[in-house]
Each structure stands twice: as structure tokens, then as C-alpha cells.
């Protein structure tokens, strides 16, 4: 019976392009249940018979994980782009079993032992670099998940893992509940003065949802909450200073008192993380975190952060001075004595006056087809690859989804990608992302011939759909997002690595993964690239020069403040996970206030409880990793710097530098340490100079 089910169930096809037209939510539970049962027995079989060789260990693991990845990857993809109550229920039904299987897999003692034996064996030196790195990473990840521990230590480790999972979930729930617990219902028009129509609609809708049935955007009442889409515009545009103060104070005290107080959780989480790190032989949790990242040491992160801090501090101070002068000149009642709840408001007023254009004005110059042309022309020039439409060659999950082919210089197809460009709020998650549909791998077929599986990427954006027969007209921000995701896609699609575990973005360290994506964003500001694609969709007129100049200027608006803010978060995170001793005389909040002395220009209020809602590090994956944002930005800016040095207006220099970028960063993926990859592209270690220069902060 199950054999028939396998044939009929499109989710069990296990290879090739996903047959999207045939896949239905009702396939999920039966496919995954059957697949996991088969994989369980294969895993048990492998664990019992494993040999410590590449073909006896890594290849069977690859086959096994590829089957799971193929089926579960499609389900995950559909959750993002074609969500429905049926699919969600199916997903939630099988997800715990999938997680359990992954845990079993990553904590398998026999496989861990085999990886170690392989590393110690004579065949080790016959492996290529990519293979060695795959084995090293497997050993490292197993050890970080506690596999190397025994007896009491192992029990304690597992108990810590469980407790941390509970505490971090509780932390995040507290933030959610505290955010939800606060709202203000505004009833008089003067209370919402300054707010844009989109906000008024949102606030009236929120009021209706809360029982004010007759609320309208024009007459109110309006409900403002601490959710970012409600909170931020109010701080930026709300003219009532007293209300901004009230909201601000509520925002910074979220989850810091009563039943929802996260203060004791922070203490406990930091303490358990330190203990966990010690069990694994690290001095601090920060050291544990860095063990799997590109940054070599806490010292290196601090040195880099300090370099950026010194370069941005005075600029941030100047930003604040300028803002004070500006506010005073506009007759602000608070004059030059700006408080926290005034900053976003005056920053927006100053931005409007300085740059005097709205995101909407630029849309007609960026119709999607032209932007794609511009992007494809650029990658052809830089990397020698040709992108062509291949619609109809692959089943798609929605009629708006496009399919493209990438060919190399010889005309041979080397990769493909789907592009799902438009927002579809009813079924599609917000944001933008690149995901791996099929990864590159060299494989031996049943007939014994060697074939290379070509990579296929999903590129998903959420831009404005075409309306009234017009093409999709993009904001500049949407253009940047498309370039960003395409950068991730290029690393996935132009990889030359044959071993699946290190091809494309696989096995690339977390703090280096944004290199190609942020690198591509730079080209949106490259005059030739931008002007080449920015043409009015009706008249064909090129984007007027004054807009270009404003885009360039707006890019660095208050950039010192923005950089200092990120450094503040990153340094607080690092200090808490490295030197801080929970239970000592200094509290976590004291640590933050101490670091604020050198990383803020307007010190936090004494009662500021920001840490209580810092979910990135207490409930997300950024613990002792928040610095990654800046780390990767240094890399990407410096990579672009190589093109600037070569000459942005020199086609031959661009081609040569592009080729080098393709052969290193894009081709090598996770097969080498990212520092080695970077150095083989740049000829030296990364420098902060290009990032500072691009941000207008160079000395
Ligand atoms: Zn990204």
C-alpha cells in the first residue's frame, strides 16, 4: 500500500524540480510520516554500519539529508508563498517529528565517532579542502550540541538546553504580551495631527478590532500600540509631544515589571549560557558563539567595533547638534533641548526638508521589467553570465511567478531561478528572501556516470503588484531589496563546489553570509547601472539628475547615528556574553548603561529597560552575534571598494574584477574559510575604510 502512496504523493518524488501544480496540503502529513519512518530506519542502519570514509559516511548522510531537505524544503517554501489554514495545520502536525529527527541526526554518537575517525585516518589527506571543511564543521556542530559529553555533564548539558528553550520562549512571549498590553485610544483630531493616511487607516482598523465599531481613518477613534508599524510612524510624525513621550516611556519599559518582567529571565539565561559554554570547554558564551563564525575572537570583534565607534561617535554627536539647531529654528517648543521622544520626529522633518522627495515620486522610473534588464545587464558585465527567461520550463506555485535560466560564457545553462516578485498578503509572508530549491552537487547516477546537479534558487520579494494595466512600479527601496536577494542567489547559483555540504551558501559562516547580498546593493547607487535602468515607464525619460543626487545624499543621512546605534547593541550583547558575571555586583542593566557612555550621544534614561525586550539576543539567534550586521557590512563595502579602485567607469577593469569576485566569493561558497575566500579576492584582510567612506564617515 505504501508503495502506491509513494508513487502518488508528489512530495515524495525526492528529486528534480518540485511539481508545484500537483502538490496539495493533504499530501504533507502522509508524505512526511512515511519519509521520516524510512529515514529513521536508514539512519539506524547507517549508524550500525558506518565506515569512517567519505563514501561510507558523508555520501550516505548527503543522500539521507537531501531526501528530507527536498520534501520538507518544499513544504517550508509553500508555507512562505502559498500559506493556507490547511497547510499550516499539516505543517504543525509533522514539524515536531522533523525537529526530533534532525536532533537525533545531529546528536548521533556513532556518526560523530565516524567523523572523528575519518579526520584521524590516513585517507584524510586525500580529501579536498571543501571535504575537509565539511567534516570539520560536522564535528564542530556535533560537539556544540553536546555530543562529546558523557555522564553527569551530558545530563546537565541536556537539562540546560531544555531550560534555555523554555526561558527564551518565555522571554519572547513576555515581550509579545507586554507589547499587546499597552494601547492608547485617541479620539480628537489634534492627537493624530501629522500622521499620514496609511497610519490613520491602520489605527482606525486597530480601533475597530478592539471594539470601536464605527472607527474611521477620517474621524477616529484611532488606536496606537507599541507594535512597530504603529509605534514608529507615531514617533516620526505625531505632532503631540506629550503623546510621543507617553508612548516612548511605555516602549522602553516593555516586559520590565509585574508578571511579564524579563529581568530575572535575562539573569538566568546569561547564567545558563555561561555554564553551557564552560561545559563545552569555552571561557564564555561569546567564545562558544564565535567558534562557528568567521570572526576569530572576541578581541577581533571588539577591535573592529572600536574602529567604527571612533569614526562614528563625533558624527553622531554632530547629527544631534544639527537636529537641535534645526528643531530650534522651526520654533520647536522644546527648543534645542531634544529628548528621546523628539529625535525620530525632528529627524523626519529635517529629512523632508533636506531631500524633498518621496519614495512614491520615483516609482514611475522603476518598472520591474526594466529593473530586471538593468540587473541582468550588470551581472553579465561583471560576471559574464547571461540571464534569460525560461518561463514554462518549470511548474510554478502562482501565475505571477517567473522562471529564469543562467548561462555561462559558453552558453551552457549552469543554474536556474524562480522569481516571485509581488506582495500577496492573503497567502504570502512579508519580507524578501532567497532560498535553496536545488543545490549544486556532483553525483554518480544509477548507470555509473558522473553528473552535476544544477542549482535552482527561489527569489521571493514583496513589491507592489501591477495595477490597472501598468507594470509593477518599484520604489528605490524595492529595487535595493531585489538586488540584495539576487546577491544571495548568485552565491547559490554560481558556486563551483561539487560537494553539496559546502556548495553555494552551505557551510558559509553566519557573519559572512550577507557579503554577496549587501555587495549587490552598492550597484543601485552606481550611476551607470542606475541611470541605465531608471527610465520613466511611459515617456522613457531617464531619471532626472537631481533625484540621483538626492538618492546619494539621503543614503548617508544621519549615518553616524545609525552606525553608533548598531555598535551599541553589538557591544552590549558581546559584553553580556563574555565578561559579565551574572549574580555579581553589576547588573545587566548596569552593563548597558556603562557601555552607553561611549556608544550613545543621548544617554538612555535611568529607567530604560531596553534589554527586557532585546529579543534578538535573548530569544533569537543573535546571542553574541549581533555584531554580525556590521561585520558583514565591512566585508561587502570593502569588496565593492575593489571595484571602485579598479574604476567604476572602466568596463574592462570591471570585468576583470568581476571575474575575480565570481571565482572567489561566488564560486567557493563554504568550501574555504571566509577569511581565506576574502583574501583571495581582495589580496588582503578586510578594511573598514570603504564602509566608512560609503557612509560619509571617513576621516
Ligand atoms: Zn540578506
In the chain, % of residues over pLDDT 90: 89
3-state secondary structure of 187: coil
pLDDT of residue 453: 95
Note whether 28 and 87 are within 8 A (CB).
Answer: yes
Note whether 519 and 639 are within 8 A (CB).
Answer: yes
Residue 484 C-alpha to ligand 1 middle, in angstroms? 6
Residue 434 C-alpha to ligand 1 middle, in angstroms? 8
Strands 456-463 and 413-422: parallel
Could you say which of 485, 509, 575, 633 is catalytic?
A: 485
**Residues 6+ positions from 296 with CB-CB distance below 8 Å:** 290, 675
**Residue 331 reports pLDDT greater than 90:** no
When pLDDT is averaged across residues 289-310 and rounded to a whole number, the result is 97
**Residue 2 reports pLDDT greater than 50:** no
Q: How far is CA 544 from CA 65, 327, 549, 551, in A?
A: 52, 31, 9, 11
Return d(Cα 330, Cα 350) in angstroms, integer: 10
pLDDT of residue 4: 44
pLDDT of residue 204: 94
Return d(Cα 231, Cα 251) in angstroms, integer: 9
Residue 197 C-alpha to ligand 1 middle, in angstroms? 31
Enter the C-alpha cell of residue 421: 516578485
Note whether 517 and 484 are within 8 A (CB).
Answer: yes
List Cβ<8 Å contacts ≥24 apart for 616-622.
616/569, 616/573, 617/573, 617/576, 617/577, 618/168, 618/171, 618/172, 618/262, 618/265, 618/266, 618/269, 619/168, 619/169, 619/171, 619/172, 619/175, 622/573
**Residues 6+ positions from 193 with CB-CB distance below 8 Å:** 238, 239, 240
Enter the C-alpha cell of residue 478: 524595492
Residue 667 C-alpha to ligand 1 middle, in angstroms? 18
When pLDDT is averaged across residues 361-385 and rounded to a whole number, the result is 96
Note whether 241 and 333 are within 8 A (CB).
Answer: yes
Question: Taking the CB of residue 603, how many other CB atoms lie within 10 A of it?
Answer: 12
pLDDT of residue 1: 40
Residue 489 C-alpha to ligand 1 middle, in angstroms? 10
How confident is the model over 419-429, as pLDDT tens digits?
999 998 889 98
Note whether 464 and 476 are within 8 A (CB).
Answer: no
Q: How confident is the model at residue 7 (pLDDT cuts 50, 70, 90)?
A: low
Q: N- to C-terminal Cα distance for the chain?
A: 72
Residue 513 C-alpha to ligand 1 middle, in angstroms? 8
How confident is the model over 74-130, as pLDDT tens digits?
999 999 999 999 999 999 999 999 988 988 888 899 999 999 999 999 999 999 999
Return d(Cα 553, Cα 613) in angstroms, integer: 33
**Residue 358 reports pLDDT greater than 90:** no
Q: State the chain's mean pLDDT as an integer.
A: 94
Q: How many CA atoms lie within 13 A of 17 on its CB side?
A: 18
With residue 123 as reference, give the H or E element that holds it.
none
**Residue 334 reports pLDDT greater than 90:** no
pLDDT of residue 6: 53
CA dihedral of 199, 201, 204, 210, whole degrees rounded to 10: -90
Residue 45 C-alpha to ligand 1 middle, in angstroms? 38
For the question of residue 485 being annotated catalytic, the response is: yes
Return d(Cα 342, Cα 244) in angstroms, integer: 8
pLDDT of residue 3: 42
3-state secondary structure of 248: helix
Enter the C-alpha cell of residue 200: 490613520
Residue 643 C-alpha to ligand 1 middle, in angstroms? 21
Note whether 13 and 45 are within 8 A (CB).
Answer: no
Residue 415 C-alpha to ligand 1 middle, in angstroms? 20
Return d(Cα 699, Cα 697) in angstroms, integer: 6
When pLDDT is averaged across residues 351-375 and rounded to a whole number, the result is 92
When pLDDT is averaged across residues 333-358 and rounded to a whole number, the result is 89
How confident is the model over 40-56, as pLDDT tens digits?
999 999 999 999 999 99
With residue 184 as reference, give the H or E element that holds it.
strand 183-186
Return d(Cα 699, Cα 692) in angstroms, integer: 8
pLDDT of residue 22: 96
Task: Provide φ and ψ at 497, rounded to 5°.
Answer: -80, 135
Pinpoint the alpha helices (H) of 145-240: 151-181, 197-209, 228-237
With residue 44 as reference, give the H or E element that holds it.
helix 26-49
3-state helix, strand, coil in the chain (%, to 5): 60, 10, 30
Question: Taking the CB of residue 242, how many other CB atoms lie within 10 A of it?
Answer: 9
Q: How confident is the model at residue 447 (pLDDT cuts 50, 70, 90)?
A: confident
When pLDDT is averaged across residues 200-212 and rounded to a whole number, the result is 93
Note whether 254 and 612 are within 8 A (CB).
Answer: yes
Note whether 420 and 405 are within 8 A (CB).
Answer: no
> What is the C-alpha R_g of the chain?
27
**Residues 6+ positions from 31 with CB-CB distance below 8 Å:** 9, 11, 12, 71
Question: Taking the CB of residue 262, how many other CB atoms lie within 10 A of it?
Answer: 28
Residue 517 C-alpha to ligand 1 middle, in angstroms? 6
**Residues 6+ positions from 525 with CB-CB distance below 8 Å:** 551, 552, 555
pLDDT of residue 198: 85
Nearest C-alpha neighbor of 590 from the set 360, 263, 310 = 263
Residue 508 C-alpha to ligand 1 middle, in angstroms? 13
Residue 490 C-alpha to ligand 1 middle, in angstroms? 12
Enter the C-alpha cell of residue 101: 529527527
3-state secondary structure of 447: coil
Which DSSP string corresponds to 634-657?
A: HHHHHHHHHHHHH-TT-HHHHHHH
Output b/e per residue, 317-328; b: 16+ Cβ within 10 A.
eebbeebbebbe
When pLDDT is averaged across residues 297-305 and rounded to a whole number, the result is 97
How confident is the model over 497-552, as pLDDT tens digits?
999 999 999 999 999 999 999 999 999 999 999 999 999 999 999 999 999 999 99
Q: Is the omega angle on the peptide bond into residue 221 within 30 degrees of 0, that is, cis?
A: yes
Amino acid at each position: 500500500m505504501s508503495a502506491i502512496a509513494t508513487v502518488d504523493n508528489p512530495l515524495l518524488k525526492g528529486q528534480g524540480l518540485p511539481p508545484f501544480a500537483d502538490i496539495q496540503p493533504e499530501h504533507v502529513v502522509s508524505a512526511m510520516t512515511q519519509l521520516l519512518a524510512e529515514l529513521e530506519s536508514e539512519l539506524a542502519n547507517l549508524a550500525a554500519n558506518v565506515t569512517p570514509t567519505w563514501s561510507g559516511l558523508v555520501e550516505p548522510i548527503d543522500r539521507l539529508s537531501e531526501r528530507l531537505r527536498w520534501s520538507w524544503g518544499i513544504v517550508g517554501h509553500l508555507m512562505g508563498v502559498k500559506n493556507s489554514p490547511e497547510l499550516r495545520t499539516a505543517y504543525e502536525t509533522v514539524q515536531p517529528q522533523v525537529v526530533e529527527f534532525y536532533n537525533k541526526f545531529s546528536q548521533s554518537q556513532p556518526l560523530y565517532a565516524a567523523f572523528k575517525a575519518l579526520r584521524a585516518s590516513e585517507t584524510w589527506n586525500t580529501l579536498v579542502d571543501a571535504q575537509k571543511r565539511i567534516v570539520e564543521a560536522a564535528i564542530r556542530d556535533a560537539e556544540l550540541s553536546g555530543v562529546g559529553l558523557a555522564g553527569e555533564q551530558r545530563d546537565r548539558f541536556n537539562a540546560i538546553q531544555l531550560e534555555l528553550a523554555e526561558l527564551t520562549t518565555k522571554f519572547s512571549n513576555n515581550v509579545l504580551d507586554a507589547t499587546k498590553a499597552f494601547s492608547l485610544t485617541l479620539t480628537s483630531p489634534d492627537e493624530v495631527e501629522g500622521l499620514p493616511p496609511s497610519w490613520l487607516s491602520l489605527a482606525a482598523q486597530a480601533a475597530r478590532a478592539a471594539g470601536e465599531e464605527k472607527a474611521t481613518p477620517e474621524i477616529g477613534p484611532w488606536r496606537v500600540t507599541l507594535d512597530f508599524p504603529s509605534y514608529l510612524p507615531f514617533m516620526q510624525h505625531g505632532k503631540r509631544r506629550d503623546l510621543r513621550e507617553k508612548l516612548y516611556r511605555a516602549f522602553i519599559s516593555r516586559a520590565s515589571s509585574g508578571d511579564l518582567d524579563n529581568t530575572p529571565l535575562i539573569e538566568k539565561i546569561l547564567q545558563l549560557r555561561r555554564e553551557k559554554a564552560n561545559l563545552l570547554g569555552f571561557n564564555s558564551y561569546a567564545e562558544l558563539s564565535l567558534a562557528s563564525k568567521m570572526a576569530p575572537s572576541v578581541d577581533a570583534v571588539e577591535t573592529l567595533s572600536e574602529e567604527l565607534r571612533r569614526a562614528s561617535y563625533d558624527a553622531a554627536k554632530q547629527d544631534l547638534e544639527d537636529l537641535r539647531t534645526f528643531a530650534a529654528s522651526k520654533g520647536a517648543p522644546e527648543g534645542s533641548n531634544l529628548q528621546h521622544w523628539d529625535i525620530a520626529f525632528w529627524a523626519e522633518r529635517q529629512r523632508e526638508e533636506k531631500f524633498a522627495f518621496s519614495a512614491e515620486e520615483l516609482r514611475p522610473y522603476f518598472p520591474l521589467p526594466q529593473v530586471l534588464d538593468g540587473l541582468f545587464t550588470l551581472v553579465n558585465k561583471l560576471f559574464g553570465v547571461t540571464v534569460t527567461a525560461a518561463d514554462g520550463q518549470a511548474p510554478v506555485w502562482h501565475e505571477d511567478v517567473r522562471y529564469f535560466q543562467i548561462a555561462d560564457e559558453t552558453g551552457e545553462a549552469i543554474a536556474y531561478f524562480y522569481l516571485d516578485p509581488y506582495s500577496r498578503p492573503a497567502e504570502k509572508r512579508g519580507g524578501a528572501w532567497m532560498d535553496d530549491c536545488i543545490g549544486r552537487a556532483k553525483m554518480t547516477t544509477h548507470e555509473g556516470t558522473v553528473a552535476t546537479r544544477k542549482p535552482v534558487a527561489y527569489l521571493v520579494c514583496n513589491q507592489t503588484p501591477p495595477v490597472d494595466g501598468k507594470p509593477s512600479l518599484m520604489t528605490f527601496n524595492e529595487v535595493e531589496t531585489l538586488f540584495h536577494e539576487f546577491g544571495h542567489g548568485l552565491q547559490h547559483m554560481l558556486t563551483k563546489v561539487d560537494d553539496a555540504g559546502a556548495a553555494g551558501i552551505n557551510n558559509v559562516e553566519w557573519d559572512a553570509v550577507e557579503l554577496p547580498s549587501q555587495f549587490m546593493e552598492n550597484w543601485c547607487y552606481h550611476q551607470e547601472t542606475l541611470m541605465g535602468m531608471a527610465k520613466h515607464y511611459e515617456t522613457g525619460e531617464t531619471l532626472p539628475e537631481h533625484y540621483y543626487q538626492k538618492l546619494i545624499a539621503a543614503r548617508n543621512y544621519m549615518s553616524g547615528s545609525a552606525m553608533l546605534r548598531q555598535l551599541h547593541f553589538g557591544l552590549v550583547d558581546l559584553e553580556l556574553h563574555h565578561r559579565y558575571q551574572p549574580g555579581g555586583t553589576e547588573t545587566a542593566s548596569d552593563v548597558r548603561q556603562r557601555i552607553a557612555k561611549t556608544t550613545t550621544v543621548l544617554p538612555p534614561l535611568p529607567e530604560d529597560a531596553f534589554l527586557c525586550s532585546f529579543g534578538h539576543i535573548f530569544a533569537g539567534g543573535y546571542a553574541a552575534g549581533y555584531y554580525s550586521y556590521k561585520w558583514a557590512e565591512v566585508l561587502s563595502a570593502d569588496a565593492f571598494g575593489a571595484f571602485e579602485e579598479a574604476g567604476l567607469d572602466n568596463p574592462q577593469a570591471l570585468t576583470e574584477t568581476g571575474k575575480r569576485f565570481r571565482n572567489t566569493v561566488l564560486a567557493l561558497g563554504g568550501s574555504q574559510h571566509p577569511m581565506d575566500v576574502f583574501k583571495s579576492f581582495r589580496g588582503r584582510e578586510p578594511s573598514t575604510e570603504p564602509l566608512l567612506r560609503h557612509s560619509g564617515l571617513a576621516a
